[in-house]
Amino acid sequence: MATKIRVLIVDDFAETRESIRKLLQFESDLEVCGAAGTGKEGITLAKQTEPHVVLMDINMPDMDGIAATEKVLEEVPFAQIIMLSVQSDTDYMQKAMLAGARGYLAKPPSADQLIATIRKVGDIAVKLEQKKSIGVEAVAAPVHVQRAGKVITIYSPKGGVGRTTVAVNLALALHTVDTPTVLVDASVQYGDATVFLNLQAKNSIADLADKSVELDPEVIDSVLVAHGTGLRVLSAPPSPEHSETVQQGHNQVKRLLRFLAQTYQYTVIDTAPTLDDVTLTIFDESDVIVLLAAPDIPTIKNVRLFYDVAERLEYLGKIMLVMNRVDKRFGITAEAVADNLKQPVAAQLPFDERTAIQATNQGVPFMMGDRTRPLVRAVLELAQTLRVRLTEVREAAPEEEKKPIRTGILRPR
């Protein structure tokens, strides 16, 4: 018989606990293994019952759901936490995701939504629990976990718009114990993502793009560098001369990305503005292309040109237009850009030179500092928008095959 998904309810309202319990009692594959009225009680019960899924209220009197999430995951690493929160708590929700929560639902969730979410994340927990019982440290060693990861590319058809800034900080926002993330610096001539993170890399993407290299997860892992947060980084080549190897090895880059997507929940890719073989290969492999625009006319002109190319190459459905360096003093609003391009702007990141430049020069991304700053919050919101969008993509097209390996630049299919 299949393992039942054990569900722990943590909520300070007795009524909420009871109504969820009643709702779940008719589902034969689910079992409520406990109900706690405080965060501390939740942790104790988690230790005793080892739940697959914890439904965690965010606001509780003794300890908030975020701190409780961290503690529960220390006790039961395979548990999947679903935060329950009223709509206005978006900031908390983002913190919760960073603390390791798997998902969130607005309160009160509909019965169908709640049950479907529990089943979805519960299946993951059951598998992780089984792996643990046969001695595979799935959570501690994400490199060996099989996942259908998502590939997010940060692109702009103009230099200096903030691709690296966004790629680095977004990767940090997406990286959690449950959603291990790798940042790939595919700005192959002058890539500087490791500088933003103050990392030294001995090897780079050029070593893996070399056609003579037999790719496998261990070889790939040996080339990645680990940031203090656990984020893995694949560095750009040390000098522009090596970029040739990567261009020639773009089919190898495709295989590399497929390997990374088996291991990492999110692969975030920084790019150069040029539409070369490597960049197009990356677009082919991407689930989402974050197209960065800025409120200046030359950038908007290039973004418009890029949309034409994207239409020809069938990338339109993947594009998410994001405005960086937004400031009302510049006289061009995100609404005006959306109007002009006839494309919706999915997110806006404010212009904040002090935060951005200080972080870059210190090699400490702003995502690691004060989270109340508008620029940091905007990147956290972008991360959340992407999580939601990528979950929807997965639900809409579970079996979608990635496109075959391409040959030739800008060749229409």
Binding site for Mg ion (CB under 5 A): 163-164
How many residues sit in the footprint of ligand ATP (CB under 6 A)?
19
Q: Which does 352 bind (CB under 5 to 8 A by kind): ligand ATP, Mg ion, none?
A: ligand ATP
Please state, in angstroms and rounded to a whole number, the distance separating the CA atoms of residues 42 and 69.
9
Residues ≥6 apart with Cβ < 8 Å to 308: none
Nearer to ligand ATP, 42 or 191 (CB): 191
> 3-class SS at 80?
strand
> 3-class SS at 140?
coil
Among 78, 104, 315, 351, binds ligand ATP (CB under 6 A): 351
Under the binding rule (CB under 6 A), the answer on residue 324 touching ligand ATP is yes
Taken in order 182, 183, 186, 192, the sign of the CA dihedral is negative
Contacts of 71-75 spanning 24+ positions with Cβ under 8 A: 71/39, 71/43, 72/42, 72/43, 72/46, 73/99, 73/100, 73/177, 75/43, 75/46, 75/47
Piece of the chain touching ligand ATP by CB under 6 A; list 30-38, 229-237, 347-355, 364-372: 347-355
**Least distance in angstroms from the C-beta of 376 to ligand ATP:** 11
Under the binding rule (CB under 6 A), the answer on residue 384 touching ligand ATP is no
> 3-class SS at 234?
strand
Each residue 353-382 as x (binds ligand ATP by CB under 6 A) or -, in order, gives x--xx--x--------------x-------
Piece of the chain touching ligand ATP by CB under 6 A; list 111-119, 154-162, 172-180, 280-288: 154-162
Nearer to ligand ATP, 84 or 161 (CB): 161
Nearer to ligand ATP, 101 or 349 (CB): 349
Q: Closest Cα to residue 158, out of 359, 285, 286, 325?
A: 325
Query: Cβ distance 280 to 251 under 8 Å?
Result: no
**Least distance in angstroms from the C-beta of 317 to ligand ATP:** 24
- Give CA 56 to chain center in angstroms: 22
Q: How many residues does the chain have?
A: 413
Q: What are phi and psi of 270, to 5 degrees?
A: -90, 145
Q: Which does 356 bind (CB under 5 to 8 A by kind): ligand ATP, Mg ion, none?
A: ligand ATP
Please state, in angstroms and rounded to a whole number, the distance separating the CA atoms of residues 247 and 32.
54
Kind plus residue range of the DSSP H or E element containing 292: strand 288-293
* Prior bond of 298 cis (ω within 30°): no
Q: What's the CA dihedral at 207, 213, 214, 216 to 10 degrees?
A: -10
Under the binding rule (CB under 6 A), the answer on residue 233 touching ligand ATP is no
Under the binding rule (CB under 6 A), the answer on residue 185 touching ligand ATP is no
Nearer to ligand ATP, 340 or 361 (CB): 361
Piece of the chain touching ligand ATP by CB under 6 A; list 171-179, 198-206, 253-261, 351-359: 351-359
Nearer to ligand ATP, 163 or 175 (CB): 163
Q: Which does 150 bind (CB under 5 to 8 A by kind): ligand ATP, Mg ion, none?
A: none
Q: Which does 357 bind (CB under 5 to 8 A by kind): ligand ATP, Mg ion, none?
A: ligand ATP
**Least distance in angstroms from the C-beta of 284 to ligand ATP:** 21
| Binding stretches for ligand ATP (CB under 6 A) | 156, 159-165, 187, 324-325, 349, 351-353, 356-357, 360, 375
